[in-house]
C-alpha cells in the first residue's frame, strides 16, 4: 500500500515537493511515536498532505469542501490543503477520517485541532529539510511539548501573514484564540495550586 502510494505520488508532484513529503512523513512518524499517536498513520498523512499541490487552481476549486469560506478564495495557497481530502479519497481510495481531517487543516489549522492534526501541522515546518531559522526554534520548542510547538508554528504563520499584509483564513485566528485561552487557563490553574500550598 505505502509503496503504491509513494510510486504514484512521485508522478503527481514536483521532485522537491515529493522529497518534502517524504521528510514530513518521517518527521510525523517520529513525533507520533514521541507523543503517543499512531506512527504509521502519521507517516501516511505526511506522505499525502501535499498531494493536491500540483493541481491547477481551477481543478483544486472542484475538490473544495462545501464548508470552505468565501474569504479563502483570495488565498489560493491554502486550496491544496482543503482540496486534499476529496482528492486523496478519489486518487488513493483512502477514507480514514483522521487522515483526511489532518490533511484538510495542515495549512490553516482550526480551533479543535487534536494531537494527530497538530503533529502534521508542526512536522510540515520541522521536517529536516526546512532550513530557515524558525525551523530550529520549532525543533527546540518540540522538546517542551506538542502544544507549545503547535502554538509556535501558528504564531509564525499568523505573524508572517500580518507582516506581509495577507489575508488570514478565519480558522487560523480561531485556532490562535483557542490556544491562548488554553494557556491562560493553565496559568490560572497553576497559580491557584500555588496559592493552596
Instruction: Tell me the three cell numbers of residue 136.
Output: 530550529
Torsion sign (Cα): 71, 21, 155, 149: positive
Residues in 114-133 that interact with Fe ion by CB under 5 A:
124
Kindly state whether residue 50 participates in binding Fe ion, applying the rule CB under 5 A. yes
Closer CB to Fe ion, 122 or 142, in the complex: 122
Residues in 141-170 that interact with Fe ion by CB under 5 A:
none
Q: How far is the CB of 160 from Fe ion (least distance, A)?
A: 14
Closer CB to Fe ion, 128 or 190, in the complex: 128
CA distances in angstroms from 153 to 12, 143, 182, listed in the order given: 27, 14, 16
Return the range that interacts with Fe ion (CB under 5 A); candidates 49-57, 60-68, 93-101, 136-144. 49-57
Q: Are 51 and 8 in contact (CB under 8 A)?
A: no
Instruction: Tell me the three cell numbers of residue 112.
Output: 479543535
Kindly state whether residue 27 participates in binding Fe ion, applying the rule CB under 5 A. no
CA distances in angstroms from 46 to 59, 121, 174, 188, 194, listed in the order given: 22, 9, 24, 36, 41
Nearest to 36 by CA among 146, 182, 151: 146
Q: Are 103 and 120 in contact (CB under 8 A)?
A: yes
Kindly state whether residue 37 participates in binding Fe ion, applying the rule CB under 5 A. no
Q: How far is the CB of 109 from Fe ion (least distance, A)?
A: 12
Q: How far is the CB of 174 from Fe ion (least distance, A)?
A: 19
Rounded CA separation 13/151 (Å): 29
Closer CB to Fe ion, 79 or 192, in the complex: 79
Q: How far is the CB of 161 from Fe ion (least distance, A)?
A: 15
Q: How far is the CB of 77 from Fe ion (least distance, A)?
A: 8
Number of chain positions touching Fe ion (CB under 5 A)? 2
The contact set with Fe ion (CB under 5 A) reads 50, 124
Amino acid at each position: 500500500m505505502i509503496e503504491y502510494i509513494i510510486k504514484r505520488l512521485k508522478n503527481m508532484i514536483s521532485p522537491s515537493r515529493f522529497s518534502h513529503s517524504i521528510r514530513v512523513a518521517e518527521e510525523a512518524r517520529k513525533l507520533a511515536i514521541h507523543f503517543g499517536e499512531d506512527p504509521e498513520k502519521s507517516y501516511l498523512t505526511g506522505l499525502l498532505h501535499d498531494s493536491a499541490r500540483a493541481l491547477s487552481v481551477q481543478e483544486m476549486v472542484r475538490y473544495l469542501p462545501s464548508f470552505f469560506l468565501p474569504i479563502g478564495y483570495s488565498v489560493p495557497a491554502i486550496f491544496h490543503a482543503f482540496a486534499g481530502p476529496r482528492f486523496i479519497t478519489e486518487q488513493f481510495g483512502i477514507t480514514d477520517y483522521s487522515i483526511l481531517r489532518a490533511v484538510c487543516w495542515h495549512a490553516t489549522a482550526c480551533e479543535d485541532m487534536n494531537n494527530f492534526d497538530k503533529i502534521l501541522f508542526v512536522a510540515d515546518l520541522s521536517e529536516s529539510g526546512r532550513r530557515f531559522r524558525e525551523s530550529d526554534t520549532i525543533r527546540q520548542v518540540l522538546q517542551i511539548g506538542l502544544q507549545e510547538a503547535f502554538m509556535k508554528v501558528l504564531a509564525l504563520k499568523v505573524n508572517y501573514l500580518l507582516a506581509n499584509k495577507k489575508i488570514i483564513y478565519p480558522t487560523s485566528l480561531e485556532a490562535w484564540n483557542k490556544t491562548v485561552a488554553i494557556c491562560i487557563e493553565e496559568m490560572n490553574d497553576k497559580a491557584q495550586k500555588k496559592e493552596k500550598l
